[in-house]
Amino acid sequence: MSTILIAEARFYPHLNDMLLEGARAAIEAAGHKHETLTVPGALELPGAIALAARSGRFCAFVALGVVIRGETYHFEAVSNESARGLMDLTLQGFAIGNGILTVENEEQARVRADPRLGNKGGGAAEAALSLFQLREKYAP
């Protein structure tokens, strides 16, 4: 049984709770253990995952968070740079499921986060598990 790290940017706790519920359920259904690490915002997720990856304790990672468009350019910077950071780590061979919601408003986030509706937390966990399996299959 492998351990998966769920790294969450806990800026919107009520939305993150739903993302976490979906991710944990998917990981447990696949027969794996999980740990959760919390950081302040989505920009910190790639760095936190990179640091945790150095421990060698985790087979895969799930990044969870919510970024809601505001009135400034900050939304684009956070959305783009967190996605870029996660993609950079994925291309280095880390199995990461990106469950950072980038939405226009809280209602869009709620629908996507809710495990009974969009279940993006569960989807991100399933993506991480899929990449983990691919790495196991093709790693030298």
| DSSP character string of 65-94 | EEEE--SSTHHHHHHHHHHHHHHHHHHTT-
Residue pLDDT, tens place only, 18-64: 999 999 999 999 999 999 999 999 999 999 999 999 999 999 999 99
Active-site annotation holder among 14, 32, 34, 74: 74
Judge whether 98 is annotated as a binding position: yes
For tokens 């959305």, the residue is: 79
Residue pLDDT, tens place only, 65-107: 999 998 888 899 999 999 999 999 999 999 999 999 999 999 9
Measured CA to CA, the distance from residue 106 to residue 89 in angstroms comes to 28
Task: Please confirm, yes or no, whether 32 is among the known catalytic residues.
Answer: no
Measured CA to CA, the distance from residue 62 to residue 64 in angstroms comes to 6
Judge whether 76 is annotated as a binding position: no
Q: What are the structural domains of the chain?
A: 3-138 (3.40.50.960)
Q: What tokens were used for 116?
A: 């009974």
Measured CA to CA, the distance from residue 111 to residue 79 in angstroms comes to 19
Judge whether 71 is annotated as a binding position: yes
